[in-house]
Structure 1
């Protein structure tokens, strides 16, 4: 799985308009990926909305990134008062060994038991 975090920043009073424009862009039939959520900031950099999307593979992510870069009004934010930041992330690979977590927990348990009782195994 691949993920994309898009940050749209504008004046705080224009934020509802930015969100509405982004929704129109994301609900277009040609938009790839799965929209996981959107958040606005209450602390830190105000006037920004973050959009998280999931993609099946790197090709789908690349296709959507290319579409956004060549679009006349990506996320409805082409005016001069809004900035767009796009970041891509790869998901963690799935664990290969099923017993690995149990072994780590066992070692942690023995270390904790050793510290409490003073006995060594």
Structure 2
């Protein structure tokens, strides 16, 4: 499995519990696997993000069509004010994303790269990730197949915000991160801290 999507709902204040219940009941459609569900805690608030994996391109396209035509994502239409859907392909050297328990927070980092720089970015990450993941795990890094491109998403779990700060500072100090030559190819950076929903397979 190397195709994924994120569905990010902007939810009305005080509706998280009902949104979680509806997502848990409806996210796993045929050909899809629910991998994670989180709510934003630092960054843009009022967001609930769902991560799903797909068995095939046909399954991804079919689910996208269903989501759009039904117009009621995860049965949460009455609780949401906006929806953003993005499709991704996993960096080819990484293993498929699997459910696991990692800790209290997840950082979702989105980078826009310069035109013609995506393959360079993948190659740079291929060289740097083995040493970086000795410090803390990487859930996945994947490049966008739609929307504003080229860009990529990477998902890092940590036990706490303090652990995140410590690990990142040590990786920079030791010269193992960011990947060599990587920053020169970036044009935008965005980061949001999410907390897993109670039922999230990734937590």
Give the alignment's TM-score, normalised by structure 2. Answer: 0.42
Query: Which region of structure 1 is more displaced relative to structure 2, 68-77 or 38-47?
Result: 68-77
Write 1 or 2 for the structure with the bigger share of strand.
Answer: 2
String of CA shifts for 1:32-56, please: whole Å, max 9, x gaps. Answer: 3111111111111212111100112
* Structure 1 position 94, deviation (Å): 4.0
Unaligned runs of 5+ in 1: 102-121
Partner of residue 63, structure 2? 64
CA distance in 2, matches of 1:94, 1:59: 23
Q: Could you say which structure has the greater relative contact order, defined with CA pairs below 8 angstroms and 6 or more residues apart?
A: 1
String of CA shifts for 1:31-90, please: whole Å, max 9, x gaps. Answer: 431111111111112121111001122111001111111125221222274321110001
Q: CA 1:84 to 1:32, structure 2 compared with 1: closer, same or farther past 3 Å?
A: farther
Question: Is residue 78 from structure 1 mapped to residue 77 from structure 2 by the alignment?
Answer: yes
Contact 1:15 1:48 in 2 (8 A): no
Contact 1:39 1:51 in 2 (8 A): yes
Q: Alignment RMSD, CA only? A: 2.3
Write the mapping of 1:1-121 to structure 2, written as runs, cut at 5 A. Answer: 1-27=2-28, 30-79=29-78, 81-94=80-93
Unaligned runs of 5+ in 2: 95-125, 128-203
Give the alignment's TM-score, normalised by structure 1. Answer: 0.67
- Secondary structure of 2:15's partner? helix
Write 1 or 2 for the structure with the bigger share of helix.
Answer: 1
- Secondary structure of 1:79's partner? helix
Q: How many pairs are equivalent?
A: 95
Higher Rg = 1
